[in-house]
Amino acid sequence: MLRVTRRRGGARIRRALAARGAPASSIALAEGVLALARDTLAAHGIAADSLLRTIVASLRATPAVLRVDDARSLARADTSRDAIARRWRHQLPDDVRWDALVTLRPATSWSLAGSTDATHGSPHDADARVPIIFWGRPFRAGPRRERARVVDVAPTLAAVLGVRPMERLDGRVLTAIIR
Same domain for 12 and 50? Answer: yes
Boundary-marking domain end, from 105, 128, 151:
128
Average pLDDT rounded to a whole number, residues 106-131: 71
Total count of domains within the chain: 2
Output DSSP code: residue 145: -
- Which among 168, 131, 123 has a CA at the least distance from the CA of 148? 131
Q: How high is the pLDDT of residue 6?
A: 53
State which residues form the domain around 91: 2-128
Q: What is the maximal distance between C-alpha atoms in the chain?
A: 66
pLDDT over threshold 60, residue 7: no
Q: How far is CA 145 from CA 128, 172, 175, in A?
A: 16, 16, 13
pLDDT over threshold 70, residue 121: no
pLDDT over threshold 80, residue 2: no
Same domain for 88 and 9? Answer: yes
Find the CATH number of the domain harbouring 61: 3.30.1360.150
Average pLDDT rounded to a whole number, residues 112-141: 77
State how far the Cα of 124 lies from the Cα of 105, in Å rounded to an integer: 9
Paired residues of 110 in beta bridges: 4
Average pLDDT rounded to a whole number, residues 152-176: 92
Same domain for 104 and 165? Answer: no
Average pLDDT rounded to a whole number, residues 74-98: 90
Same domain for 33 and 114? Answer: yes
Provide the 3-class DSSP secondary structure of residue 66.
strand
Computed over every residue of the chain, the mean pLDDT equals 85
State how far the Cα of 80 lies from the Cα of 62, in Å rounded to an integer: 28
Average pLDDT rounded to a whole number, residues 7-14: 62
Cα-based angle 136, 152, 157 (whole degrees, multiple of 5): 35
Same domain for 109 and 38? Answer: yes
Average pLDDT rounded to a whole number, residues 16-43: 87
pLDDT band at 41 (very low <50, low <70, confident <90, very high): very high
Using CB atoms within 10 Å of the CB of residue 155, give its burial: 0 to 12 exposed, 13 to 18 middle, 19+ buried. Answer: middle
Average pLDDT rounded to a whole number, residues 163-177: 91
pLDDT over threshold 80, residue 15: no
